[in-house]
Amino acid sequence: MVKKDVEKLLKKVQKPARYTGGELNSVVKDKNNVKLRYAFCFPDNYEIGMSHLGMKILYSLVNAREDAWCERVFAPWEDMEALMRENDVKLYALESGDALSEFDLVGFTLQYELSYTNVLNMLDLSGIPVLKKDRTNLAPIVIAGGPCVCNPEPMVDFIDIFLPGEGEDVTNELIDLLIEHKEKGSTRLEFLREAAKIEGVYVPEFYNVYYNEDGTIKSVENIETAPQRVKKRIVSDLDKAHYPKDFVVPLIDVVQDRTVGEVFRGCIRGCRFCQAGFIYRPIREKSPETINEQCRSISDATGYDEISLCSLSTSDYTNIEKLIPMLFDWALKENINVSLPSLRVDNFSDELMEELKKVRRSGLTFAPEAGTQRLRDAINKNVTEEEVLRTALKAFDGGWTSVKLYFMMGLPTETLDDIKGICDLAQKVVDTFYRNPNKPKGKGVQVSVSCASFVPKPFTPFQWEPQDTADMLIEKQKVLLSSTTSKKIVISYHQSDTSVLEGVLARGDRRLGEVIYKAWQKGCKFDSWDEFFDFSKWTEAFNECNLTTEFYANRRREYDEILPWDIMDYGIRKEFLVDENKKAHESVTTPHCRIKCSACGANKLNGGKCDARN
Amino acid sequence: MPEIKKWAMEVRMSFEKTGMAKFISHLDTVRCITRAMKRANVPVWFTEGFNPHAFLTFAMPLSLGFESLCETVDFRLLEEVDLNELAERLDKALPVDITVKEIYVYETLPNDIRWAEYKIVFNNPDELLLERANSVLSSDEIIVLKKSKKGRNKVEKEVNIKEHIKSFELTEDNGKLVLNTVLSSGPSININPMLLIGALVKDTETDEQDVDIIKVQSFTENMEIFK
C-alpha cells in the first residue's frame, strides 16, 4: 500500500511497479492485531530480491503466525533513491507502506559480499542509524542471515544479530523472545543477553577481538552470555519443514519468476572451491511426494507456467527418476514447463532422457571449472574430459546446438597451461559436434566459454589460499583470449576488480567495517552492478583506514592462524579442510559422499544423520 | 501432426485498471492476465506453435501511468461456460486494482476504435494554466513534437494535433483543473494525451508529471461506444 507522497514520485521513475506492492499473494495484516512487525530486506533491487527462494520461505513462515507480520523491502534503484532523498520519503515496506523505523525486526539476507554497501544505504534511507552503536532502543533490532553470515565479521558494526545457517527455526525463536521482551519493556542489552543464549544466534558485541602486530588475529574473547563458538542452525527434516503454499507473484518481470521446488539441501560433491558445497551440509533430501505436492500448490496459487527444481546438483537427488514423471504427469497437461537446472545429463537413464525431451529445452550447461585434468583433480571437480565430451555428444544427438561451458581462473596451483587447456577443451566440444553423423542438419554449433575469477571463501579447503591479484587475472584473461581463433567459441569473463573486493570482504575481519562505512559514504552501492562499481572509491577507503586489500586477498594464511570466522561452527571440521587443502596441492581427489564418507563432521549438526549415506 | 484443438467461444473481457495498477506496463498486464486465467482455471485456447501460450488480443495498449475504465481483451474458450460466473472467478484471481466488468460475446473488432475519451486532472495547476489551456485548445493549430522512427533512426517531427481533438471541456475542481477530451485513438492514428498535456503546460509552471490521466471510454467512427 503506497502512501500519497510516494505515489507522486512513482510517476517519475523507471519500473514504478517495483515500489507499489499489492502483488497477488502478498500478505496484508492489520498492524494493530500483531505483536511484532518484521521487515525482510533484500539488499538489491526488486527483480533480484523477488527471485530469492529463502525470502519466500521466511516470509511465509513468519506470516503463518498470527502474532507477527512480515513485509518485504528492496533497495530502491538510483532514480527512486534520489527522489526519496529529495522529498524526504523514508524507505518503506511494500505491504504497509510504513517506514522501516516502525518495525521491531529489520532483517537482511546477505547473499553476496558485494551487496554489503546496500545494507548501509537501506538503513540510512530508513532513518535507522547505520552504526549499531548509535541504536539505543529495543526496536528495531537489525538482524542478518544468508550464506555470507558464515563470516559476518566485516558487517558487525552495522548488524545487531547474525543468524548463521538455516533460518526457519531460529527466526521463530527470536520472534518469541523479542515479543516477550517488548512486553516486559526490556532494554536492548537485556534482550541481546537472552538472545545470545539461543543456539545459532551470534551477537557480535559480546565478542572482543585482539590483533597481532602483523594484523592477524591474536585472540577472541567472548563476554556476557555469548558462547565461545556459535553453531549454525539447520532444519532436520525437510518434509516437515515449513514451505510456502504460494509465492508472491510480481507484477513486473523478475529474474526467477516461476514455481520453485526445493529438492534437497547440501551437496555430496565436495568441490574444493565451492563454498555452497560445504556450508549447506549435511545432505537432507525431501521426498518426491512432498516436492510434487509443494510444486502443485504453488503452481495453482500463482498461475506460473514453469516449475524449476532447485538444489546444488539436482541429478544427485536419489529420487529424481521418480520425481520427474510425477511432475510431468500433471504439469505438461496444463502447459506448465519443468526446468531442471544443475543437471548432469551423463548418468541419466534413456527413459528419463526421453521424458526430458517432452519439455521445452533450456540451454545446456556444463561446468568443468578447469581446463586440464590435473587442475580438475586439484579442485576435486570429479569430471573427466571424456565425460564432458560423451555428454556433449548425447546432447547433440538430442538436438542441442549450443553449449555453455563454465570455468574458473585463478584457482590454486593454476598455470598458464591450465588456461590454454580451457580453449583446448572448448575446441574438442566443437569437434565432437562436427564429427557426429546425427548432428542437426543445417545448423552450426556455438560453445560459450564463461570464465569466472576464483575467490577463496571461508569453510572451504581453499580458505587459506592467496587469491590472484587483478594484474595476474588480467594476464590470464589475455592468454585465454589468444588461445583460440575459432568463431564457434565465444569467451566471456568477469571484471577482475570486483573479484578482488569480493575476496577481501569474504575473508575479512572486523576492521573492514570502517572501510565499508567509508566506501558507502563516498557513494558506493550496488557494487555487484558494473554500472555502479567504482573500485577507486574502495581504494581510497582502504587507504584512509590504513588497510590493504593484499593483506586480506593475496596472502597465504598458515593453517594455525586464527581466522575471523573461527567464531562460527558450521559443522565442518578444520582438520578435514586442512587434509583437503593438502590433497589439492598433491592433485589427489576425494570421492563424493555417496562413494565414501570423508567425515567432514557436518552430520553432527543433525544428530549424526546425513542423507548421503542412507 | 498434433491435433489442433478447436475453440467453442470467442469472448471479450472488459476491465478497469485503476489505482496502483496504472503502474503495470502493458506487457506485464498481459502476463498478469495470463496467470490469472491459469489460477482461475479458465479453459482458454492456447496457440499451437513451438511455444504455446494463451491467445489474448488487447484492443489498445495502455501507457504506463494511465488509469482506464474501458480496457478490453479478447480470447477464445475451449468450451461453453457461464460467462457471468467466469467473470467473477477471473476477477478474484486478478490483483485488486484490475477489476473485471463483464465477459461477453463481442460483435466489434479492435480495429473499429477511432476515438477515446480521457479525463485529465492537473493536481497542481499554476494560475495561468486555465487561460493558457483554453487559448491553446481554441486555436486553429496545435503543433507538438511527436517522436517517430525514420528507418532505424529516432526522429522528432512537428505535427498539428488539432484535427485529432474531437472535443474538450475544462472545469475547475477544488484547485484542480480537469480536462475532459476526446482524442484520436486506434490502430491507424493514436494521440497520446501526454502530447496534448505537454502543449498545454508549456510556458507555465505546471508539473506535467503531477497529472492523473484516466481513459474513460473508447468510441467507433460514429461515436458509438466501443463494446
Task: Name the residue of chain A whose CA is nearest to B22's CA.
Answer: A17
* In the predicted structure, residue A495 carries a pLDDT above the cut 80: no
A300: closest chain B residue by CA: B39
- Cβ atoms of residues A517 and A120 within 8 Å: yes
Q: State the nearest Cα–Cα gap between B212 and chain A, in angstroms.
A: 10
- A69 vs A33, A144, A249, CA distance in Å? 9, 18, 18
Whole-Å CA distances, A219 to A115, A207, A228, A562, A564: 29, 10, 12, 7, 10
Among B30, B37, B38, B121, which would you mutate to test the A interface (most chain A Cβ atoms within 10 Å of its Cβ)?
B38
Taking CA–CA distances from A24, the nearest residue in chain B reads B95
- In tens digits, chain B (227 residues) has pLDDT values of 456 678 899 999 999 999 999 999 999 999 999 999 999 999 999 888 777 788 899 998 999 999 999 999 999 999 999 999 999 999 999 998 999 999 999 999 999 999 999 999 999 898 889 999 999 999 888 888 887 777 778 888 888 888 899 999 999 988 999 999 999 998 888 899 999 999 998 888 888 888 999 999 999 999 999 98
Q: Which residue in A11, A22, A360 is closest to B97 by CB distance?
A: A22
Would you call A16 and B65 a contact, using CB atoms and an 8 Å cutoff?
Answer: yes
3-state secondary structure at position A369 = strand
Domain extent listing, chain A: 4-223, 258-361+570-614
Of the candidates A173, A171, A181, A179, the one whose C-alpha atom is nearest the C-alpha of residue A59 is A171
Please tell me the predicted confidence (pLDDT) of residue A517.
98
Q: Where are the beta strands (DSSP E) in A62-128?
A: 68-74, 105-109
Q: Which of residues 72-111 of A touch B (CB under 8 A)?
A: none
Q: B207 in the Ramachandran plot: left (φ > 0), alpha (ψ -120 to 50) or beta? A: beta
Is residue A367 predicted with pLDDT exceeding 90?
A: no
Q: So what's the pLDDT on residue A350?
A: 66
Cα gap A342→A336, rounded to integer Å:
20
Spatial neighbors of A418 by CB under 8 A, at least 6 apart, are A370, A371, A372, A374, A375, A411
Which residue from A20, A249, A252 is facing B20, i.e. has the nearest CB? Answer: A20
Cβ of B20 and A252 within 8 Å?
Answer: no
B57-79 burial, b at 16+ Cβ within 10 Å, e below that, comes to eebbebebbbbbbbbbbbbbbee
For residue B6, give every residue at least 6 positions away whose Cβ sits within 8 Å of its Cβ, in sequence order, or none: none
B18 CB neighbours in chain A (<8 A) are none
Q: CB–CB of A251 and B95 under 8 A?
A: yes
Chain B residues within 8 A of A8 when measuring between CB atoms? 210
In degrees and rounded to multiples of 5, residue A535 shows phi and psi of -65, -25
**Chain B environment of A10 (Cβ under 8 Å):** 23
**pLDDT of A361:** 59
Our CA-based measurement puts residue A25 at a distance from the nearest CA of chain B, in whole angstroms, of: 9
* pLDDT value for A570: 97
Q: How far apart are the first and last CA of chain A?
A: 49
Closest Cα in chain A, distance from residue B44 (Å): 11
Q: Decide if B20 and A21 are in contact by the 8 Å CB cutoff.
A: yes
What type of residue sits at position B183?
A: L
- Interchain CB distance below 8 Å, B210 and A11: yes
User: Would you call B35 and A303 a contact, using CB atoms and an 8 Å cutoff?
Assistant: yes
Q: What class does CATH assign to A258-361+570-614? A: alpha beta
Is the separation of the CB atoms in A354 and A322 below 8 Å?
Answer: no
Residue with cell 504497509: A96
**Lowest-confidence segment of A51-60, A312-321, A334-343, B155-164 by average pLDDT:** A334-343
Cβ atoms of A402 and A363 within 8 Å: the answer is yes
In single-letter form, the type of residue at position B152 comes to R
Question: Crossing angle for the helix pair A535-544 and A496-506, nearest 10 degrees?
Answer: 40
Closest residue in chain B to residue A10, using alpha carbons only: B23
- Which residues of chain B have a CB within 8 Å of the CB of A304? 35, 38
Nearest CA-CA distance, residue B24 and chain A, Å: 6
User: CA A544 to CA A243: how far, in whole Å?
Assistant: 46
The CATH code belonging to domain B9-106 is 3.30.70.580
Q: Which of B5, B17, B18, B23 to mutate to test the interface with A (most CBs of A within 10 A)?
A: B23
pLDDT at A306: 92
Q: Does B25 touch chain A (CB under 8 A)?
A: yes
The number of residues making up chain B comes to: 227
B2 at the A interface (CB within 8 A)? no
Tell if the CB–CB gap between A252 and B24 is shorter than 8 Å.
yes
A174-183, A308-317, A348-357, B54-63: which range is least confident on average? A348-357
The shortest C-alpha distance from A340 to chain B (Å) reads 18
- Contact (CB<8Å) B28/A300: no
Q: For A50, what's the count of Cα atoms within 13 Å in the CB-facing half-sphere? A: 24
Calpha distance A253→B38 (Å, rounded): 18
Vertex A275: Cα angle to A273 and A281 (nearest 5): 125
Q: What top-level class would CATH report for the domain A4-223?
A: alpha beta
The answer to whether A300 contacts chain B (CB < 8 Å) is yes
- Residues whose CB falls within 8 Å of the CB of residue A473, separated by 6 or more in sequence, listed in order: A409, A410, A453, A496, A499
Whether A545 contacts chain B with CB within 8 A: no
Q: Which of 1.10.10, 3.40.190, 3.30.70, 3.30.420 is the CATH number of B113-220?
A: 3.30.70
Of A17, A301, A302, the CB nearest to B28: A17
Predicted confidence (pLDDT) per residue in A211-233, tens digit: 999 999 999 999 999 999 999 99
Sign of the four-CA dihedral A81, A85, A89, A91: positive
B positions 65-124 inside 8 Å of A (CB): 65, 93-97
